Amino acid sequence: MMLIRPIRANDYPALYQMAVESGHGFTSLPVNEELLMRKISRSEASFAKAVTSPGDEGYLFVLEDSVTGQICGTSALEAAVGLDDAFYHYHLGKVVHSSRSLGVYKTVDILTLCNDYTGVSELCTLFLRTPYRQKHNGRLLSKMRFLFLAEFQQRFADKVIAELRGVSDSQGNSPFWQWLQENFFALDFPTADYLTGIGQKEFIAELMPKYPIYVSLLSKAAQQVIGKVHEQTRPALALLESEGFACRGYVDIFDAGPTVEARVEQVRTVRDSKRFQVRIGEVSGGEPCLISNTSLAGFRACWAELNLMAEQDYIIIPPALATALNVSADDWVRVSKI
């Protein structure tokens, strides 16, 4: 059985290996021992902390094969971004150049550096190891965060975003960054991305263009990737769009990948999930569902085929699933269709 749980200190070797496997452009999993250990410690502290409003908390989860103990993937939630370190984006907007006397009217796209998403919650650090990209594992790893959001809404902002990896090649070269590098920086894309991942963001404020950038002045290759996702990220984008996320013109400052957003209460899984009281028994048939317990530090989530009847206030789950979720009869669980 595939089980979601909070990360623990002894998961560090698996997290490091996933950082290596994730490759270039995966800012939130840098190959850096000190930073990864800090992420684990921060997550453990966040799960143990009493919270009434979102602050500098980060919740890091792992996907574990409960039979083998193998760590298969990871994903995370940030409670409120940009409270300590500046959280940068480019916003794609327009300006109009016009002259009535000359009969000239031209609309021009511009990119403006901003911090508009300061204080919102973020879905991040989603990585599923290649051998486990099957069945419903990817959807479980991504969408279980919506069950967590629904259950612990006081810990998060009203709006949630997700930054999606932009276009880059197998060596980590980004067409968008290539133009910035040639004109403003002496850093290649992997180096800039890594520095951001380990929290060294000062160079952004020091070297990034201070004024809006006219998109038409960028190289053709850079223009073509603005707001586009990496080929491997297309499934993640499709999943988020099915949940109600949309891009409002914000893109990453390094690879120009899109940032999508949604109001938490409008996210489909948050909106449609429901609490049920547990009854333990055998289950036949059913449909694939996401199910989690309602514990914070002991949070557990799985997918299972269940008979979900919204008009009832209870749900029958098999003994093995109850054991995996660490729930007993009359405990509460939160359930949503996959």
Residue 336 in this model has a pLDDT that exceeds 60: yes
Question: What are residue 232's phi and psi, to 5 degrees?
Answer: -75, -10
90-103 in b/e form (b: 16+ CB < 10 A) is: bbbeeeeeeeeeee
Confidence of residue 285 (pLDDT cuts 50, 70, 90): confident
Mean pLDDT of the chain: 92
Residue 24 in this model has a pLDDT that exceeds 70: no
Q: State mean pLDDT over 293-300.
A: 98
Percentage of the chain beyond pLDDT 70 is: 95
Confidence of residue 7 (pLDDT cuts 50, 70, 90): very high
Superfamily assignment of 2-89+114-269 in CATH?
A: Gcn5-related N-acetyltransferase (GNAT) (3.40.630.30)
Q: State mean pLDDT over 23-34.
A: 77
User: pLDDT tens across 189-227, in order?
Assistant: 777 767 776 666 667 767 778 889 999 999 999 999 999
Q: Is the Cα dihedral 81, 253, 208, 95 positive or negative?
A: negative
pLDDT of residue 201: 67
Confidence of residue 177 (pLDDT cuts 50, 70, 90): confident
Fold entry, domain 273-337: Barwin-like endoglucanases (2.40.40)
Closest CA relative to residue 336, chosen from 282, 275, 286: 275
> DSSP 3-state assignment of 170?
coil
Question: 48: which 2 tokens?
Answer: 């143990």
User: pLDDT tens across 36-77, in order?
Assistant: 999 999 999 999 999 999 999 999 999 999 999 999 999 999
Q: Which residues contact 296 (CB under 8 A, 6 or more apart)?
A: 47, 152
Residue 260 in this model has a pLDDT that exceeds 60: yes
pLDDT of residue 291: 97
Round to whole Å and give the CA distance between 273 and 291: 9
Specify whether 136 is catalytic: no
Residue 322 in this model has a pLDDT that exceeds 80: yes
Question: 37: which 2 tokens?
Answer: 């250990």
Round to whole Å and give the CA distance between 318 and 148: 22
Least confident of 66-80, 167-181, 236-250: 167-181
Listed by start position, the domains of the chain span 2-89+114-269, 273-337
Query: Would you say the pTM of this structure is higher than 0.75?
Result: yes
Confidence of residue 128 (pLDDT cuts 50, 70, 90): very high
